Structure 1
């Protein structure tokens, strides 16, 4: 084996950016910087970029689940939002964070650490509970599969019924194995997380300003952005809640 050419963090960032790239993402052949970062706050579906139909070059994002047939079944509304509005919000937020971190490093580190604990506690507790339940069910399925095999061998369970139950249990077992692997990866990721206030500050200090956000900058700082529906659907003059989750 050879020593790695780049560090793991740089490699992971490159993979994240590559996975988010879509060809001709906004209808003009231009890269959409927020692709892969925006999600619907109600259904969890990805939000995809498109251009408006009024002839103006305005990039907007809408929930991908809304348009799936029958329209409005998986998600009741589009959650439409302008790309410029999200980029402005992210820029303003990062600018405020940078100013805060430079004015009082000690307090900023303390605030970030408290935020980390709060976010991880809520999310990881939910995943741990689901992991325990999935593992318990997987154990139950193994016993059930053994039981129906034994009952079939002893003539207590007809072949047709045995085959139906065996297929049903096997299908559930396969789905659980995938889910358990994903949950274990998530739990391990939290427990071995290298995210820290110090690393986030170093990233903040890396850039002089946040007036123009590049694709690399967005993926370095942002984990995901949740978009809620407007307070008054269809209205341009209304509020819309946006949740930004940073990589720390």
Structure 2
């Protein structure tokens, strides 16, 4: 989303508009949200999260640890599987390179063909090495999920008495905000936003609060 405002706008008129739609890529529908509305929604959710974590820290930790373990274990398995595949392909490419080199020396493969094939193998090796590095970093991040949860809880305690949304609190607690296109099928304009918190991702605060009152 892109922030849109001018000197002629009142504060309530400033808004965020879908960047993909505005750039005419055709990859998204036209949708926007007023800045004051978004700020209110984010602040409301942050207050609920801060309040719940500070009042029910032990239960919050237990629930989030379970969720993070499930998601991280699945991601780690997938990343390690792909990592093993990439490692095997790198070894295979080394063998293939030796083979075409020997065929070229023996006259079984022309210089032109050897040059084309060796360049193709080298390009694939470079891509695989970059992918392997990314996969290793992702695995390390996933394996630190529980440590990240503790860091997030400590950050939340810093803002236990926060009375209004501040840029610093927003940067420390929130990683990303995704805004859906509005749904008008019911006759009313409804628009969902999804808040991803830094270090822990999505927090099902409504679900947690329902469990508290159940």
Task: Give the TM-score of the pair, scaled to structure 1.
Answer: 0.65
1:104 aligns with 2:77: no
Larger Rg: 2
Task: After TM superposition, give the deviation of residue 137 of structure 1 in Å.
Answer: 2.0
Unaligned runs of 5+ in 1: 1-46
Q: Distance in 2 between matches of 1:230 and 1:143?
A: 55
Matches within 5 A, 1:129-208: 129-193=81-145, 194-197=147-150, 199-207=151-159, 208=161
Task: After TM superposition, give the deviation of residue 210 of structure 1 in Å.
Answer: 5.5
Q: Deviations over 1:153-193 (max 9, x none)?
A: 11111111111111111111111111111111121232245
Unaligned runs of 5+ in 2: 201-214
Quick check: 2:104–2:110 contact (8 Å CA) kept in 1? yes
Q: Distance in 1 between matches of 2:85 and 2:31?
A: 33
When the two structures are aligned, how many residues end up with a matched partner?
194
1:124 aligns with 2:76: yes
Choose from 15, 37, 41 the match for 1:59: 15
Q: Distance in 2 between matches of 1:179 and 1:65?
A: 31
The aligned counterpart of 1:29 is none
Q: Deviations over 1:199-237 (max 9, x none)?
A: 3232112112252231x322321233344444359x992
Task: Give the TM-score of the pair, scaled to structure 2.
Answer: 0.74
Q: Distance in 2 between matches of 1:192 and 1:102?
A: 22
Quick check: 1:127–1:183 contact (8 Å CA) kept in 2? yes
Q: Distance in 1 between matches of 2:75 and 2:184?
A: 30
- Cα pair distance change 1:231/1:115, threshold 3 Å: same
